[in-house]
Amino acid sequence: MLNVEPQPRRTSAERLAAFGPAQLRDGALRRRMARAGLEQRIHPLAEGGQLAYWTGGVGRPLLLMGGFGADALWQWFAIAPTLARSHRLFIPDLLHFGQSHGASRAPSLEGQVDAIRELLDAQLPVGRRVDAVGLSYGGLVVWALASQQPERVDRLVLMGTPGDVFGAEDLAGLHQRFAIDHPADLLLPSDVDGMRRLIAVGFHRPPPVPNFILRDVHRFHYLGQRAEKRALIDDLLARLGGEVPAIDCARHQSLLIWGRHDAIFPLEIGDRLRQRLGSHATLHVVEDTAHAPPQERPRPVLAAMGRFLQD
């Protein structure tokens, strides 16, 4: 007779983790990506750790880099299936988000760039250039990649990201607008109230979300690697006042996409960045949205990107 060890009963928290609202939504989004021919893969990093990324589609290579908050799937699900019809997509989780993590170095912008460079080197032929899209923090990664490896990156789409024009006065304004002492107080919520405030900031018309769902989403996206995520913010703050690498404006045509009601990086910063980039950049303002245009207003975002990225 086969002896089977009795399995311990799962706690309510463990059952919620397996069948909670966030897990169910994650499964639905994964099925949506699969229907579009996209699959998630893992790239082992040379210095340890791994980079999780979604890939698939046909056409010119296109890199999508998300910002602080959810993983790549939750940030790009609304536009990735459409983009996959005309582009070969690479959609990584940032290091220390989702299923990506580093191993041997302190969390930093350079670490993010090195991981993306390693992925592209492994997946694309030598000399093959990519168009790159970056949202918020992901835009800073794209900016740094283009400045360090201009031969690898062609056109840039920067969404609600300040490039090299964000300074100490802008940081003080951010603190004042949200009555915070550190950006992590806003970007890394510690409870349901923090989650509700972050959603209210990210969306112009935030959806009504019950507390039990916010609690589950917080567990799903914000409890892991918190120290590393805060270290990434501290790394950015340490750069304020220092010299930020510039991109070669003549080599990179840029589209800036900004939510009209973005309160994290207000539209004035977008205007300033467009002036900084000169005639090689265009600013497209998306109405009725804030800091998450790809999720809140995917159609106008896709329309603007389609015009800009067409061959």
E strand or H helix at 134, and its extent? strand 130-135
What pTM did the predictor assign?
A: 0.92
Q: Which is it for the CA torsion 176, 179, 181, 187, positive or negative?
A: negative
Per-residue HEC secondary structure of 198-261 comes to HHHHHCCCCCCCCHHHHHHHHHHHHCCCHHHHHHHHHHHHHHCCCCCCCCCCCCCCEEEEEECC
Quick count: other Cβ atoms within 10 Å of Cβ 189? 21
- DSSP three-state, residue 279: helix
**What per-residue confidence (pLDDT) applies to 244?**
60
**What per-residue confidence (pLDDT) applies to 242?**
66
Mark the ranges of the chain whose per-residue pLDDT is less than 50: 1-16
* Beta bridge mates, 40: 54
DSSP state of 181: S
Would you say 201 and 178 are in contact if contact means Cβ atoms under 8 Å apart? yes
Would you say 41 and 52 are in contact if contact means Cβ atoms under 8 Å apart? yes
228 Cβ contact list (under 8 Å, min separation 6)? 95, 96, 101, 102, 107
**What per-residue confidence (pLDDT) applies to 4?**
34
Residue linked to tokens 């977008």? 270
Would you say 62 and 133 are in contact if contact means Cβ atoms under 8 Å apart? yes
**Which amino acid does the sequence have at 270?**
G
**What per-residue confidence (pLDDT) applies to 249?**
59
Instruction: Tell me how far CA of residue 15 lies from CA of 20, 21, 23, 56, 215, in angstroms.
Output: 7, 11, 11, 33, 14
**What per-residue confidence (pLDDT) applies to 1?**
38
**What per-residue confidence (pLDDT) applies to 13?**
47
**What per-residue confidence (pLDDT) applies to 18?**
61
Q: Which domains does the chain have, with CATH numbers?
A: 20-309 (3.40.50.1820)
- DSSP three-state, residue 63: strand
**What per-residue confidence (pLDDT) applies to 127?**
82
Quick count: other Cβ atoms within 10 Å of Cβ 281? 20
Distance in angstroms between the alpha carbons of the first and the last residue of the chain:
67
**What per-residue confidence (pLDDT) applies to 252?**
83
